[in-house]
């Protein structure tokens, strides 16, 4: 991720030239700072912050100073275009600008050593010095590493040296894994990122009557290009809202809460006392489903993935002795930040830290460059948070590996409606909960695995499978209906009946916010850019 005033090269020249075509007598917007991508690919590599010149404000247009805009998964997908594109080819641990460092898988106990065969394999790998990667079926890839450069007393405890994302290795959060799947929206590049947000009217064209400077507005339906400080668009793009709405909720109301509301209302007629079931309950949509269902007296059963409570400590390798005292068991892992890097082998200093950590008796050591200590909540803590929002029941996936899954419902009725944003086995669990004639709506696929349905579910339970995509729904001439629902949701928010986790971040800290949104730092609140 780079910050720059871009040179007039390639496709971006087209943007800059087009915005300079104006009459000197017309009103101009202020210069804008924007997140631009000139090609599709990994967002942290193809986006950069640039300065754009002012734009002519035509008679029917409105200039809006953006106040806040979120980073949504759909924003990331639009930049990627290929949602499941192979990511490994972009990684380079020896690039100082790379966000990833090497991941080392070591023996759990340095005193026991490793087998003779493993020693032989390590020797074969370490004795090779080359400028090209050395591939090994068992040991991964090593890039031109001289055995003499490694700590001599621990040469046999290196089981794997490969260029992979350590956080993905821990949490399975990789937006680029797999080979199939293309996101259906591929914006023409160069483009400005972002799809929703809130702003304040800066100035208006001569024929604009419904908006005035100082009004708060949101693009409704959502519109491309919200990751910039000033936006100029036609008056009919903007929807005026009250200025007493918390800025982070105003910036996020048009995608996730609207998705939750539409799915609750569009597929099955729900009555007070009915039940629904959903996976991905910790997502913003999931949190909204819980609260909106409660408002109408609808019971909700929620499925979350299993989580181990983890503590990661970022510190210099010189503090390893103190780190060892923190504890290292099934509930904790130690995160080591290398004290220094060598010019010849930048990753080797990280290897030293890992070796020293294992010599202190710490197992399962992960080494990656971070600046702050991190904490990941366990399943019980996540359950408690969801119940505070109004969840009736929350189960981890491992709890649902029973034959009679409905015995867990107690007095709750069998769900008539289910929501799936995960796919794979998690979707199958949702289907098992549904009563005969029930409907499952799929609106996402975070597991990147297909939804598999048994023949008996169709024949004997007569289940229905549906899909929902908000952008398609809004493209069906529903702008007026969309704004009515947004006003309704904003009213619910003002009443304190709709809440979800978010984190306001300065626009200047976009690279760090993007890292959190990409899942590099585990599960994080929704990132909201504050302009």
Rg (CA), the chain: 26
Residue spans per domain, the chain: 2-83+182-252+501-530, 89-174+309-376, 257-307+378-470
The phi and psi torsions of 368 (rounded to 5 degrees) equal -155, 155
Q: Which contiguous run of DSSP H or E holds residue 32?
A: strand 32-37
Note whether 218 and 254 are within 8 A (CB): yes
Question: pTM (2 decimals)?
Answer: 0.70
**What is the per-residue pLDDT for 377?**
59
- CATH code at 2-83+182-252+501-530: 3.90.180.10
State yes or no: is 183 an active-site residue: yes
What CATH topology corresponds to 257-307+378-470?
Rossmann fold (3.40.50)
- Other CB atoms within 10 Å distance of the CB of residue 44: 20
Q: Assess whether the region 2-83+182-252+501-530 and the region 257-307+378-470 belong to the same CATH fold.
A: no
Catalytic one among 183, 230, 352, 443? 183
C-alpha angle 5/6/8, rounded to 5°? 130
> Which pLDDT score, from 0 to 100, does residue 137 have?
30
Residues 423 and 420: their CA atoms lie apart, in Å, by: 7
CA dist., res. 1 & res. 203, Å (int): 32
CA angle (74, 79, 80) in 5-degree steps: 95
Non-local CB neighbours of 163 within 8 Å, separated by 6+ positions: 88, 91, 92, 93, 100, 102, 141, 143
- Give the model's pLDDT for residue 82: 56
pLDDT at residue 112, rounded to an integer? 33
Q: 263, 256 in Cβ contact below 8 A? A: no
What tens-digit pLDDT sequence spans the chain (531 residues)? Answer: 544 544 444 455 455 544 444 444 579 999 999 999 999 989 989 999 999 999 999 999 999 999 999 999 889 988 987 543 333 332 332 232 222 223 232 222 333 333 333 334 334 433 433 333 333 333 333 333 333 333 333 332 332 333 233 333 333 333 333 333 456 677 888 999 999 999 999 999 999 999 999 999 999 988 889 999 999 999 999 999 999 999 999 999 999 999 999 999 999 999 999 999 999 999 999 999 999 999 999 999 999 987 665 544 444 333 444 444 444 443 333 333 333 333 333 333 344 444 444 444 444 443 333 334 444 556 788 899 999 999 999 999 888 877 778 888 989 999 999 999 999 999 999 999 999 999 999 999 888 888 999 999 999 999 999 999 998 898 877 888 999 999 999 999 999 999 999 999 999 999 999 988 987 766 689 999 999
Report d(CA 214, CA 224) in Å as an integer.
22
Determine the pLDDT at residue 206.
95
Q: Which phi and psi angles does 297 have, rounded to 5°?
A: 70, 25
Question: Rounded to whole angstroms, how far apart are CA atoms 32 and 195?
Answer: 17
Q: What angle do CA 387, 389, 391 make, to 5 degrees?
A: 45
Q: Is the torsion defined by CA of 519, 524, 528, 531 positive or negative?
A: negative
């Amino acid at each position: 991720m780079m910050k720059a005033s871009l040179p007039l090269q390639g496709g971006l020249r087209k943007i800059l030239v087009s915005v300079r075509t104006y009459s000197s007598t017309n009103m101009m917007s202020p210069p804008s700072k924007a997140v631009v991508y000139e090609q599709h690919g990994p967002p942290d590599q193809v986006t950069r912050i640039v300065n754009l010149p002012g734009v002519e404000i035509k008679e029917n247009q409105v200039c809006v100073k953006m106040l806040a805009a979120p980073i949504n998964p759909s924003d990331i997908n639009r930049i990627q275009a290929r949602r499941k594109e192979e990511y490994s080819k972009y990684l380079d641990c020896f690039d100082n600008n790379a966000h990833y460092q090497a991941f080392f898988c070591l023996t759990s106990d340095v005193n026991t050593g490793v087998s003779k065969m493993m020693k032989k394999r390590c020797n074969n790998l370490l004795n090779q010095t080359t400028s090209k990667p050395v591939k090994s079926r068992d040991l991964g890839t090593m890039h031109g590493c001289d055995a003499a450069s490694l700590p001599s007393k621990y040469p046999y405890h290196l089981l794997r040296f490969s260029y992979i994302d350590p956080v993905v290795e821990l949490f399975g959060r990789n937006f680029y894994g797999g080979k199939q799947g293309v996101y259906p929206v591929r914006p023409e590049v160069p483009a400005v990122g972002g799809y929703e947000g809130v702003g304040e009217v800066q100035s208006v064209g001569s024929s604009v009557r419904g908006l005035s400077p100082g009004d708060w507005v949101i693009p409704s339906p959502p519109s491309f290009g919200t990751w910039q400080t000033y936006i100029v668009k036609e008056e009919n793009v903007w929807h005026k809202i009250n200025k007493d709405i918390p800025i982070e909720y105003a910036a996020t109301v048009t995608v996730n809460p609207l998705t939750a509301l539409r799915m609750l209302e569009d597929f099955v007629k729900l009555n007070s006392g009915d039940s629904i079931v959903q996976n991905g309950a910790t997502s913003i949509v999931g949190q909204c489903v819980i609260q909106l269902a409660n408002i109408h007296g609808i019971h909700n059963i929620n499925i979350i993935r299993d989580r181990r409570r983890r503590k990661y400590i970022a510190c210099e390798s010189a503090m390893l002795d103190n780190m060892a005292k923190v504890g290292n068991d099934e509930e904790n892992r130690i995160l080591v930040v290398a004290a220094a890097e060598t010019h010849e082998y930048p990753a080797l200093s990280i290897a030293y830290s890992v070796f020293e950590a294992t010599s202190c008796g710490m197992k399962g050591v992960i080494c990656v460059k971070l600046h702050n200590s991190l904490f990941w909540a366990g399943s019980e803590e996540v359950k408690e948070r969801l119940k505070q929002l109004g969840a009736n029941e929350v189960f981890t996936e491992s709890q649902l590996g029973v034959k009679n899954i409905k015995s867990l419902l107690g007095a709750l009725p069998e769900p008539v409606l289910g929501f799936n944003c995960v796919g794979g086995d998690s979707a199958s669990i949702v289907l098992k909960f549904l009563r005969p004639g029930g409907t499952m709506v799929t609106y996402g696929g975070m597991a990147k695995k297909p939804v598999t349905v048994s023949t008996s579910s169709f024949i004997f339970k007569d289940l229905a499978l549906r899909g929902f995509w908000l952008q398609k729904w809004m493209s069906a001439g529903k702008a007026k209906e969309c704004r009515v629902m947004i006003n309704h949701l904003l009213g619910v928010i003002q009443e304190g009946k709709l809440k979800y986790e978010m984190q306001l971040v300065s626009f200047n800290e976009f690279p760090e916010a993007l890292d959190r949104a990409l899942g590099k730092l585990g599960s994080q609140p929704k990132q909201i850019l504050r302009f």
